[in-house]
Structure 1
């Protein structure tokens, strides 16, 4: 890292933002879906629809600085995560909330379907986190090894917690904050590629 130029600051802030935003909403996530919480549950999960896919943004942004192939792999894995986690959000979130509001006993069907999709999403996210963390540690070299390992531990640990914490208070919210911090650290130490190259 040669300094905190505008690109670096933007990368760090962009990498951390999705986790922070999701954590802020997670503070208000009902612990259980009941008649009393159904409207909040439904509204919250509709509001989260455009945010959950953004959790795949940080790994892609960081990975693309480790190499073009890594960028494409992170993009593909991020797409898998975003697709399947959006499915969870729609089924176990919005649909289950709507069924609860309608007085339907079928909400558990939505939970079960959503949870099946979540398994694919969160395991993909964990694999992506570990892969990108290792790539950053290799690319950052000895100079930033301690920070890159620390960022990797934060990201991998939070992704492990995400396997079963969703964004429920308090564990899920803490998970999202740790995830944001880990991506911020990795974004701070990954050597930046020239601006013109993508993905």
Structure 2
């Protein structure tokens, strides 16, 4: 796959999430409940695709040595993110939206609390996967990895409590898109030239 296509591939999921963030309700109430629940149903397969930005640059990396161990940590972190962040969408998105839509507003706060705990665990796993990915890429690609890594860690930090809500969540997703693009470009460019 060409460098430009690889770069575009890893940028699509966060750009899609940023676009959806523009129409994500700012709060959950009776008038937004159906939209809230429906939007999170649509997002179930999209959030796990954020991991593509970490997995694609690792494709074909060595599996025996420190880089191999870090690659395994990155893959496991991506899996944990996908599972737990999907849990956030299911609990605080679909369940809380459905509860609010049917007037069970007393259930919304506990659902948000449980969903937030799942989401935080997922984002922390994504941050570990990001660190592991950069650990694998840096020895081979050097300083070219640093711009993407810095933006990636800032996006992970912001993602802990921004979800995709406008404005910070949208900018967080744009940060992921830029970071993933830079990492993929650095890895593909060096691989093509060396």
Q: Taking structure 2 as the reference length, what is the TM-score of the superposition? A: 0.89
> Cα deviation per residue 1:35-61 (whole Å; 9 max; x = unaligned)?
111111111101100101101121111
RMSD over equivalenced CA pairs, Å: 1.6
Note if contact 2:127-2:153 (Cα within 8 Å) is conserved in structure 1: yes
* Whole-angstrom CA distance in 2 between matches of 1:155 and 1:65: 22
Task: Tell me if 1:170 matches 2:167.
Answer: yes
Q: Which residue of 1 aligns with 2:53?
A: 58
Q: State the distance in 2 between where 1:71 and 1:134 align.
A: 9
How far, CA to CA, are the matches of 1:192 and 1:39 in structure 2?
47
For structure 1, the 5+ residue unaligned runs are 1-5, 194-199
Q: CA deviation at 1:27?
A: 0.9
Pairs within 5 Å for 1:176-195: 176-190=173-187, 191-192=190-191
Distance 2:62 2:25 in 1: 41
Distance across 2 between alignment mates of 1:65 and 1:30: 40
**CA–CA distance in structure 1, aligned partners of residues 159 and 82 of structure 2:** 14
Cα distance change of structure 1 residues 23 and 125 upon mapping to structure 2, 3 Å threshold:
same
Structure-1 residue corresponding to 2:102: 102
The match for 2:32 among 25, 33, 37 is 37
- The number of equivalent residue pairs is 184
Q: How does 1:4-43 map to 2 (within 5 A)?
A: 6-43=1-38
Q: Would you say the 8 A contact 1:158–1:176 is kept in 2? A: yes
Paired position in structure 2 for 1:161? 158
Cα distance in 1 for partners of 2:38, 2:172 equals 22
